[in-house]
């Protein structure tokens, strides 16, 4: 007598599940991020993806915040090395732009990155690259150390602001408010209305990074 088609298979007949590892959990989280966005990267969702219980994941990742930070660190590994040639300021801007563009591709991660605390190898490699370029430019060490934080904060905030498309009516309202401002009450806004609204995000990011780098070079750290 043969088994019925719907007869459950015994556990011994089922293929063994792959052992859980932190690397495997993070890889699954990145896959969910790419397919569904960061809000879906939860312990419960990953447990379904990995065919296990949520409690099993906490052995490898303490909480969702740590998981999101690990996802960010993994994606930092997709940023290429600094260009080998060219002025150090341009190469530094290039690395920071590549970081921002990576976040542009993942809008929900960009917003989370404002408060995430990555500490993995790719994050440390990025910090090392930025510090090496600032050192190449002769920036004093204390200014470089504080400046890296400032540069990454601005690149992250820019990506978070522009990566997710705001409804067209929201931007229209902003443009109307600035364009139609009363010059009698807001003379400076009225005079610079065109400039306030000008420039593509990439252009404004480039200008801001160059302004920050120049300021970091010239502003001493005082304790």
Instruction: Please choose, from the candidates 218, 92, 203, 215, the residue with its C-alpha nearest in 3D space to the C-alpha of residue 158.
Output: 203
Long-range CB contacts for residues 194-201, cutoff 8 Å, separation at least 24: 201/158, 201/162
Helix axes 88-104, 201-218, angle to 10 degrees: 130
Q: Which domains are present in the chain?
A: 18-61 (1.10.10.60), 76-218 (1.10.357.10)
**Local structure of residue 13 (DSSP, 8 states):** G
> So what's the pLDDT on residue 5?
52
Q: What is the largest CA-CA distance in the chain?
A: 94
> So what's the pLDDT on residue 59?
93
pTM for this one?
A: 0.83
Can you say how many angstroms the Cα of residue 149 is from the centroid of all Cα atoms in its chain? 14
Angle of CA points 217, 221, 222, to nearest 5°: 150
Annotate 114-134 with DSSP letters as a single string: TT----SHHHHHHHHHHHHHH
pLDDT, mean of each 10-residue run, the chain (223 residues): 52 63 94 91 93 93 91 93 92 96 87 86 96 97 97 92 68 88 96 92 93 97 87
d(CA 200, CA 158): 12
d(CA 37, CA 77): 19
What residues have CB less than 8 Å from 111, skipping those under 6 apart?
160, 163, 164
> So what's the pLDDT on residue 94?
95
What residues have CB less than 8 Å from 139, skipping those under 6 apart?
147, 216, 217
Q: Which two tokens stand for residue 58?
A: 């906490």
């Amino acid at each position: 007598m043969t088994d019925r088609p719907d007869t459950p298979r015994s556990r011994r007949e089922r293929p063994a599940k792959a052992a859980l590892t932190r690397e495997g959990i993070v890889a699954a989280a990145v896959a969910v991020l790419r397919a569904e966005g960061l809000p879906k990267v939860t312990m419960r969702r990953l447990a379904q993806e990995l065919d296990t219980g949520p409690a099993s994941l906490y052995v490898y990742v303490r909480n969702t915040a740590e998981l999101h930070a690990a996802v960010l660190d993994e994606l930092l590994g997709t940023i290429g090395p600094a260009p080998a040639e060219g002025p150090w300021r341009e190469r530094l801007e290039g690395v920071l732009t590549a970081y921002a563009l990576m976040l542009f591709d993942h809008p929900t991660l960009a917003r989370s990155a404002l408060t995430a605390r990555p500490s993995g190898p790719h994050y440390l490699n990025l910090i090392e690259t930025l510090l090496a370029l600032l050192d190449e430019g002769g920036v004093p060490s204390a200014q470089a150390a504080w400046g890296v934080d400032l540069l990454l904060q601005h690149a992250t905030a820019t990506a978070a602001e522009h990566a997710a498309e705001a409804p067209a009516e929201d931007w229209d309202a902003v443009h109307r408010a600035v364009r139609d401002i009363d010059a009698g009450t807001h003379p400076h806004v009225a005079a610079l209305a065109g400039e306030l609204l000008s420039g593509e995000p990439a252009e404004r990011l480039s200008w801001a990074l160059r302004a920050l780098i120049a300021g970091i070079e010239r502003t001493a750290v005082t304790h």
